Amino acid sequence: MALLIRTLLAALLLLSAQAHADNTLQLAEQEIKAGLLYNFLKYTDWPGASMEKSPAMNVCILGSDPFAGYLQPMAGRTVNQRGIILRKVQNMQEMQSCHLLFINARAKDSWPQLKVALKGKAVLTVSDFDGFANSGGMIEFGRKNDHISVNLNMDAVTSGGLRVQDRLLRLVTLVHPGEP
Amino acid sequence: MNLGWKITEGLQFNLVGQNLFAGTHREFTSPTDPFTPATRIEPNIYGKFTWRF
């Protein structure tokens, strides 16, 4: 019996090691980031007013789509019983309905102006340019030892009236930028 | 990893270590579908006594 249990446990461990290897091998960097965006949607609570304005979750991209096609499969799927709509946005008017706004690193120069326009709005801002979370952005993708790191600025999240759940907090590193 | 010692007839101790070499990392629930819940995986060690009578 002990031998059987030991064999089963060993097999389970091997299986979990295999699953981890698959995660590393099969998913491209942009695919992992797309999956993390899905998790941000899943584990963030938007204020009621922001949820009432649209029956779907609007995921917006400012600038060109850097996800190399990996974000597209998310359109039409659901998160917390709501459909996901992907939208490309150009101006503030179009951003009003966004729940999550991904800012292409190439649009970095527009961030200072954008930040002022988005102040106090329930829009979860995400980008992958260096220093985003430290300059008032909410979530920043970075790289740390060959892994994708996620930095989260809690003050920015809270000032937008958003709340991130513990499940999400366990996946991120908190950054605490001083007041500018 | 699972190491077992038979202390006496009927009493066994097992030391089990999980995820000892990959360190703390993230995994999607499905290894092939990134649009699934991601969780934080940490190294985990526990001991277990089994008493059979």
pLDDT digits (tens, 9 = 90+) for B3-26: 999 999 999 999 999 888 888 889
Strand-strand pairing, B38-41 and B25-28: antiparallel
From edge to edge, which strands make up the β-sheet containing B11-18?
B2-8, B11-18, B44-51
Instruction: Give the separation between CA A106 and CA A109, rounded to whole angstroms.
Output: 8
CB atoms B40 and A16 under 8 Å: no
Question: What residues are paired with B27 via a beta bridge?
Answer: B39
How far apart are alpha carbons A39 and A80 in whole angstroms? Answer: 11
Contact, A33 vs A142, CB < 8 A?
no
Question: B28 vs A10: CB contact, 8 Å cut-off?
Answer: no
Question: At a CB cut-off of 8 Å and minimum separation 6, what does A12 contact?
Answer: none
Q: How far is B7 from chain A (nearest CA, A)?
A: 13
Per-residue pLDDT, A49: 85
Q: Are B17 and B42 in contact (CB under 8 A)?
A: no
| A111/A179: higher pLDDT | A111
Give me the half-sphere count of Cα atoms (radius 13 Å) on the Cβ side of residue A116. 4
Amino acid residing at B45: I
C-alpha distance from A51 to closest chain B C-alpha (Å)? 21
| Cα A79 to Cα B18: distance, rounded to the nearest angstrom | 31
Q: Quick one: pLDDT at residue A23?
A: 47
Q: Per residue in A21-40, pLDDT tens? A: 444 446 899 999 999 999 99
**A48 Cβ neighbours under 8 A, 6+ residues apart:** none
- pLDDT at A178 (0 to 100): 73
Confidence at residue A4, expressed as pLDDT on a 0 to 100 scale:
56
pLDDT band at A12 (very low <50, low <70, confident <90, very high): low
Of B6, B16, B39, the CB nearest to A9: B16
**What does the longest C-alpha to C-alpha distance in chain B come to?**
49
Confidence of residue A8 (pLDDT cuts 50, 70, 90): low
pLDDT at A20: 47
Best B5, B18, B35 member to test A by mutation, with max A CBs in 10 Å, is B35
pLDDT tens per residue, range A159-180: 999 999 999 999 999 999 875 5
Per-residue pLDDT tens over the stretch A136-166:
999 999 998 888 999 999 999 999 999 999 9
Q: Do A31 and B34 touch (CB under 8 A)?
A: yes
Give A102's strand partners. A61, A126
DSSP-derived letter for residue A88 is E
Cβ-Cβ pairs closer than 8 A, A with B, add up to 64
Q: Are A141 and A128 in contact (CB under 8 A)?
A: yes
Tokens of A157: 């999240």
Average pLDDT over residues A113-129: 95
Distances (CA, A) of A55 to A40, A49, A101: 18, 11, 17
